[in-house]
Amino acid sequence: EQFILKSLVGEEADFLRDMLLTYFEHVSKHPQTLLPRYCGLYAVAEKGRETVISVEVNAFSSQCPIHERYDLKGSVIGRMTREDVKARDAGHVILKDLDLTRQLPLGDTSRTLLLHQLKHDCQFLENLEIVDYSLLLGVHHPRSHRDSKQQ
């Protein structure tokens, strides 16, 4: 669960290769970035067919269990998870913007750091003319974690 493998189409792989130096500079300058953490890009050939695979750190890999997962795009169009999807995979479903119906408490310092990093990451994406991106959010319920450890 520490890494995620993704297959990429040709254009995606080319774009990733082209932006790699700029990406590395951004991640080096902003070590708390919320952007994906790329670990590798591989081409695998089998029977004359090539597949390009990226390896990323799993954003939801944590020492604490993640109880809720969200893919936030800042939009309302089509941004609610269907009830049948929620019911089918309740523990691991990735929810959308309109499924987040409450405020999540952040202290002032955490809020300031988060907004500061979001500003830098969005500027980076804007400079690369990337317009379709989202924020992955994992929510841990400390009481649930404590309760399961005591059992």
Query: Catalytic residue positions?
Result: 6, 132
What is the phi/psi pair of residue 44, to 5°? -115, 125
Amino acid at 126: E
The DSSP code for 65 is P
Residue 139: closest CA among 107, 74, 91: 91
Nearest to 38 by CA among 116, 52, 46: 52
Q: Which residues pair with 49 in a beta bridge?
A: 46
DSSP 3-state of 83: helix
